[in-house]
Amino acid sequence: MTIIISEEELRQTTVDAFRKSGLSKEIAADIADVLVHANLRGVDSHGVMRVEHYIKRIKEGGINPNANPSTVQSSASTLIMDGDNGFGHYISKQAMTEAINLAKMSGMSAIAVKNSSHCGALSYFVEQAASANLIGIAMSHTDKIVVPFGGSEPFFGTNPIAFGFPAQSEEHVILDFATSNVALGKILNAREYGDAIPDTWGVDAEGKPTTNPENVSFLSPFGGPKGYGLAMVVEIFSALLTGAAFGPHVSKMYGDYNKNRELGHFFMAIDPSIFTGLDSFTSRLDQMIQELHQVTPAEGAERVLVPGEIETQTALKRKKEGIPLPDQVWASLKG
C-alpha cells in the first residue's frame, strides 16, 4: 500500500529518526535533505527507504554518527577531505560547499574525499554547484556488484557519476547516472513494492538474466564495454586518487555492518565566467535547451527532454501534491 506524505512532514520525520539514533541536529538535517531531494525527484531508491539500513549501520558500528570531517589544502584549488567514517551525505555536502568556495576564488576546484560512506543521490551535490552558478561534477564508488564486460563475476560497484550545469531562465541541467544498467537502489525499490523488473537490469547467481528482483545477485554495465570503461574511470577518481580501497577490496554495503565503508568520492566545481562569461554560458545553455525542445519528436514521444527534466517535473509535482511512500517505509521511519 502506498501513502502520500508532504515534503515537510517527510523531512522532519526523517530528521527525528536520525536524532533518536544519536545524530546531531546538523548532521540529521543534512542527511534528511539529501534523502528527501531524491524522493522529490522520483529517485525513491535513494530516498528515505534507506534510513532503516543507515540506522542499522549506526547500531552495529559501521558508521560514525557524529563524525568531524577534516580537510588539508593540497594546492590553491584542491583539498583532501577525511570524512572520519561518517555519513556520506553530510560529508559530501561539506565537500561540495568547499569546492564551490574554492572555485569562486580560483575558477576551478577539486575535492578528494576518503573515509566516507554511502552519500545518496549525486544529483544533490551537482545541483548545489549549479545553484551557485557553477558547473558541478561528482562521482563515487561502492562495493562490487557489477560484472565487468567479458567477465563472469563482479569487480566494480554501480559507480555513479553526475554533472550539473547552470542555466539562466531554464531549469539547471542535471545528469546523474550509474554505470550499471540501473542503480542497485532500483532493484531494492522493486523488492519493496513487489514489482517485476526488466531482464536487462540484473542477473542471478549463475549469471542468467532475471525479472525477479529477489533473484538478482549481480548487475551488468550499461552499454557493454563503454559502461565498464566508465566504471573503471569513476573507480580511479574515487578510490585510487583519494587513497580509498578499490573494487573487490571495498566492504559491503549490505553486510559487514560493523565495518566502516571507507569509501571515496570526487567533486569538482568550475566557474563558467573564467572561460566564456557566466551570462554568455547560461544564455547559450538556455538556447540549447529550447532548440532541443523544438526537435521533432519521435513517434510515441511528446517532445525531446534534456537530462534531469523528468526529475525536475516530478519534484514540482511532488512538492505540490506530496510524496508517495510504501506504508511499511513510513511505519519504519516513525519507529
- Predicted pLDDT of residue 184: 76
Q: What is the pTM of this model?
A: 0.93
If pLDDT is split at 50, 70 and 90, which confidence band does 182 have?
Answer: confident
Question: Can 118 be counted among the known catalytic residues?
Answer: yes
In the β-sheet with 135-140, what is the strand arrangement from edge to edge? 70-75, 78-82, 108-116, 263-270, 135-140, 161-165, 173-177
Query: How far from chain centre, in Å, is Cα 101?
Result: 21
- Predicted pLDDT of residue 192: 82
Q: What is the C-alpha to C-alpha distance for residues 187 and 165, in angstroms, rounded to an integer?
A: 29
Q: What is the pLDDT of residues 33-64, one digit of tens each?
A: 999 999 999 999 899 999 999 999 999 999 99
Beta strands at 108-116 and 263-270: parallel, antiparallel or unpaired: antiparallel
Q: What is the 3-state secondary structure (H, E, C) of the chain?
A: CEEEECHHHHHHHHHHHHHHCCCCHHHHHHHHHHHHHHHHCCCHHHCHHHHHHHHHHHHHCCCCCCCCCEEEEEECCEEEEECCCCCHHHHHHHHHHHHHHHHHHHCEEEEEEEEECCCCCCHHHHHHHHHCCCEEEEEECCCCCECCCCCCCCCECCCCEEEEECCCCCCCEEEEECCECCCHHHHHHHHHHCCCCCCCCEECCCCCECCCHHHCCEECECCCHHHHHHHHHHHHHHHHCCCCCCHHHCCCCCCCCCCCCCEEEEEEEECHHHCCCHHHHHHHHHHHHHHHHCCCCCCCCCCCCCCCHHHHHHHHHHHHHCEEEEHHHHHHHHC
Catalytic residue among 46, 118, 141, 265: 118
Q: What is the mean pLDDT of residues 87-116?
A: 98
The β-bridge partners of 72 are: 80
Residue 21 has pLDDT above 80, yes or no: yes
- In this structure, what C-alpha cell is assigned to residue 268? 569538482
- Predicted pLDDT of residue 72: 96
If pLDDT is split at 50, 70 and 90, which confidence band does 246 have?
Answer: very high
Q: What is the pLDDT of residues 66-82, one digit of tens each?
A: 999 999 999 999 999 99
- Mean pLDDT taken over the chain: 95
- Predicted pLDDT of residue 207: 80
Residue 283 has pLDDT above 80, yes or no: yes
Q: What is the pLDDT of residues 113-172, one digit of tens each?
A: 999 999 999 999 999 999 999 999 999 999 999 999 888 889 999 999 999 999 999 999
